[in-house]
Amino acid sequence: MSTVLKVAGVTKIFGGLTALDSVSFELEKGKVLGLVGPNGSGKSTLLNVLSGVYRPEDGSVTLHDRNVTGLAPYLITTQGMARTFQNLQLFQGLSVGDNVLVGRTCRMSSTLVGSIFGSSFSRKEEREAKEQARSLLSLVGLDRFINEPPSMLSYGQRRLLEIARALASSPSVLMLDEPCAGLSQGEADELAAFIRTVSAQGTSVIVIEHNMRFIMGLVDHIVALNFGRKIAEGDPRSIRENEDVIAAYLGRKKRHAEN
């Protein structure tokens, strides 16, 4: 298995607060990695650093042997890492289909003049993008809403739409920030099945989630954070039994000395 993403010593400081303290991990092709930890442990901050929303003070993010540390978000997406948000960031004024098409923008190269006059290249590119958007939407079961505004969708469907939009850029790493928030258990199970399909096709996935049943059933590997530090890493089973993780979640007094 080849390593797709390598995160080494990433540190992020807000004022005097160290939100991320030298976090390192690796992600292999087609694997699903779960990012867990209590509130404020730095999971979302890490995702923001990986997606370029925040620039880290130290450390590096390497995607396919290319250093993408501190690049602007759109460049990181162009390089092959796409994400969704915990609080959705959909385009309310665009149709469901157009929301997905925006995700394809960085893979399109027709010029302004070509688009206005409908050059054969731009028409072909547009047609292919629309076909891809339609198939992505049917994959998440939203194809019948293609011409509707996102406001017509349920909360769970909006989450799926954001995932479809992220997938439109054909990413090699897909990052999901609490995709289960607001979903019923049934919807969460469907989402887990969908994420497995995505990873089976070779896309690596990083997922932040509090829903432990969801995480444990889905991921291959877990990185656990607490107070901005990686406290444990391993397969779901070993994490579930890890003393530090249990302590971090339940607030139990630690018997081990801090390292």
By C-beta, is 83 or 230 nearer to another protein? 83
Provide the minimum distance between the beta carbon of 109 and another protein in the complex, in angstroms, as a whole number: 9
Tokens of 103: 């995700």
- Classify residue 92 by its DSSP letter: T
Between the alpha carbon of residue 98 and those of residues 49, 133, 145, 168, 188, the distances in Å are: 27, 8, 11, 11, 25
Cα–Cα distance measured from residue 51 to residue 20, given in angstroms and rounded to the nearest whole number: 15
Interface positions with another protein (CB under 8 A):
51-53, 72-74, 76-78, 82-83, 85, 89-94, 98, 101-108, 110, 112, 115-118, 122, 126, 129, 147-148, 165-166, 168-169
Min. distance of Cβ 106 from another protein in angstroms? 3
**Tokens standing for residue 107:** 């893979």
**Radius of gyration (Cα) for the chain, nearest Å?**
19
- Which is closer to another protein, CB of 126 or CB of 189? 126
Distances (CA, A) of 142 to 4, 94, 145, 152, 231: 30, 15, 6, 11, 39
Indicate the residue among 105 and 135 with the shorter CB distance to another protein.
105
Between 147 and 184, whose beta carbon lies closer to another protein? Answer: 147
Sign for the CA dihedral angle at 64, 70, 75, 80 comes to positive
Give the C-alpha separation, 91 to 160, whole Å. Answer: 14
Please, what is the minimum distance in Å from the beta carbon of residue 129 to another protein?
8
Question: What is the spatial distance between Cα 131 and Cα 188, in angstroms, rounded to a whole number?
Answer: 27
Q: Tell me the closest approach of the beta carbon of residue 94 to another protein, in angstroms.
A: 5
Shorter beta-carbon distance to another protein: residue 30 or 171: 171
| Residue among 20 and 167 whose Cβ is closer to another protein | 167
Q: How far is the CB of 242 from another protein (least distance, A)?
A: 32
Q: Measured between alpha carbons, how far is residue 53 from residues 43, 72, 82, 105, 240 in Å? A: 14, 7, 12, 19, 31
